[in-house]
């Protein structure tokens, strides 16, 4: 039995790297600094280790050969999930390039809202260490932050010491839209977050009204959604007074039509505050289970984020057309490759076309896929790299045990080689 310290997690997206994990053969126990997201993800036991073809156990070579056969015969393969480490993603891109596949990260439905806003007008953002040391005013829009990342407040807001704030518990936290479900946002000196609740559907209007006020214009109405204008005015004034205000949102949670316009308004509010003479930054939440990793690797290898295709032998990007789910629904794809090395519950969608699943060991299916190859988890079964939600820091993942499970990269490279 060994104990491994300073273990980084690829699961929560916020780059916690202080876990202490006890390793006993193949079983892992989070001894310290676990959370509701990370502990079960690390502690999940290894179940299936053998590849299958239509539910029947086969050798790795046979499974790889069958996958290659299906891809060779395909006119338009799609690769979904795309949840793996940097090397896994590299191998995925090589296979897609060779095979003319669509590459579509499973988080792109949410991430798309950010990319559309960013590619249209840009943004001003910050990263976790800046928040930890500078942020004196945090506006949380449309997300229950402590459910998204249980240790966010503990690690980055209620930290004992900060370089530029005399007392971190004096930070002001304000929720707009969804309120907090627990007490993580309550400061160590017992100050509760201010909550201005409204429904998701009202957020576009509420955020637009807030921008109007931040720009110094007035509104004749007294209420927008369920929120009084005077309360919004108060937020606008505080944002413009803060030394280092931060506005955070999770694109994935803004689940209403054209949410990219709301993201864009939020990003423009940040710019407006900077124009008005104070510092303010945006902080998009996302990047769990390799979402950011997929976009980064796809970005440097093709110039585009991870919803693109190689069907014409060169990269093409379209955040609407290359939605793998839509393509499968419309009969535009004839093979699905599903790659998910982090989360065994993130199973592929039910499809009529042949499915090849490269999944975390333990994945269970209602309908057995044509090919299933269980793989190791980056940061548990092999070393690797994964991006944190703030997109700047790639964490070095450790190998914690000797499970013998192959990596995503090894499996996808093997398939590419026999193609």
In angstroms, the CA 187 to CA 170 distance is 8
- Distance of closest approach, residue 75 Cβ to another protein, in angstroms: 18
Best CA proximity match to 264, nearest among 301, 211, 216, 217: 211
* C-beta closer to another protein: residue 164 or 197: 164
* C-beta closer to another protein: residue 178 or 385: 385
- Distance of closest approach, residue 320 Cβ to another protein, in angstroms: 13
- Distance of closest approach, residue 137 Cβ to another protein, in angstroms: 14
- Distance of closest approach, residue 168 Cβ to another protein, in angstroms: 11
* C-beta closer to another protein: residue 218 or 312: 312
- Distance of closest approach, residue 25 Cβ to another protein, in angstroms: 24
In angstroms, the CA 310 to CA 302 distance is 10
* C-beta closer to another protein: residue 81 or 245: 245
In angstroms, the CA 381 to CA 26 distance is 9
Measuring CA to CA, how many Å separate 284 from each of 308, 354, 373?
A: 22, 36, 34
Scanning the structure block, which residue is given the tokens 């990007």?
317
Q: 101: which 2 tokens?
A: 């596949």
* C-beta closer to another protein: residue 8 or 362: 8
Count of other CB atoms within 10 angstroms of residue 43: 13
In angstroms, the CA 212 to CA 219 distance is 8
Q: Where are the beta strands (DSSP E) in 58-106?
A: 77-83, 102-104
* C-beta closer to another protein: residue 52 or 168: 168
* C-beta closer to another protein: residue 227 or 415: 415
Please give the residue ranges that form the binding site for another protein (CB under 8 A). 6, 8, 15, 17-18, 86-87, 90, 94, 97-98, 115, 118-130, 132-134, 155-156, 160-164, 243-244, 274, 277-279, 281, 295-296, 299-305, 310, 312-317, 383, 385, 391-396
- Distance of closest approach, residue 78 Cβ to another protein, in angstroms: 17
In angstroms, the CA 206 to CA 258 distance is 15
- Distance of closest approach, residue 53 Cβ to another protein, in angstroms: 29
Best CA proximity match to 369, nearest among 352, 345, 385: 352
Burial 77-89 (b: 16+ CB within 10 A, else e): bbbbbbbbbbbbb
């Amino acid at each position: 039995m060994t104990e491994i310290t300073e273990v980084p997690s690829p699961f929560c997206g916020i780059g916690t790297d202080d876990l202490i994990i006890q390793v006993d053969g193949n079983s892992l126990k989070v001894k310290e600094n676990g959370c509701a997201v990370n502990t079960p993800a690390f502690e999940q036991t290894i179940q299936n280790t053998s590849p299958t073809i239509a539910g029947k156990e086969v050798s790795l070579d046979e499974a790889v050969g069958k996958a290659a056969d299906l891809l060779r015969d395909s006119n338009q393969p799609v690769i979904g999930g795309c949840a793996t480490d940097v090397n896994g993603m590299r191998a995925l891109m090589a296979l897609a390039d060779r095979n003319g596949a669509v590459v579509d990260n499973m988080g792109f439905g949410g991430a798309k809202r950010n990319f559309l806003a960013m590619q249209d007008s840009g943004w001003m953002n910050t990263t976790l260490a800046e928040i930890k040391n500078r942020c004196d005013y945090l506006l949380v829009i449309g997300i229950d932050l402590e459910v998204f990342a249980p240790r966010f407040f503990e690690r980055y807001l209620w930290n004992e010491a900060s370089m530029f704030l005399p007392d971190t518990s004096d930070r002001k936290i304000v929720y707009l839209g969804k309120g907090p479900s627990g007490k993580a946002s309550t400061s160590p000196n017992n100050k509760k977050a201010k909550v201005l609740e409204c429904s998701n559907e009202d957020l576009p209007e509420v955020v637009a009204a807030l921008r109007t006020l931040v720009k110094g214009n007035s509104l004749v109405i007294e209420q927008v959604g369920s929120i009084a204008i005077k309360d919004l005015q108060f937020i606008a004034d505080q944002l413009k007074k803060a030394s280092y205000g931060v506005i955070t949102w999770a694109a994935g949670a803004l689940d209403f039509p054209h949410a990219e316009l709301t993201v864009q308004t939020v990003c423009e509010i940040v710019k407006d505050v900077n124009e008005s003479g104070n510092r303010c930054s945006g902080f998009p939440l996302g990047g769990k289970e390799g979402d950011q990793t997929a976009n980064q690797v796809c970005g440097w290898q093709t110039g585009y984020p991870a919803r693109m295709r190689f069907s014409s032998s060169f990269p093409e990007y379209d955040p609407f057309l290359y939605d793998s789910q839509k393509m499968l629904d419309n009969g535009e794809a004839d093979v699905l490759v599903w790659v998910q090395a982090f989360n065994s519950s993130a199973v592929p969608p039910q499809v009529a076309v042949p499915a090849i699943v490269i999944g975390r060991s333990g994945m269970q299916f209602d309908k057995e896929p044509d090919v299933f190859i269980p793989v190791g988890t980056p940061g548990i079964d092999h070393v690797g790299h994964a991006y944190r939600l703030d997109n700047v820091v790639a964490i070095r993942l450790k190998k914690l045990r000797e499970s013998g499970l192959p990596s995503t990269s090894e499996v996808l490279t093997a398939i590419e080689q026999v193609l």
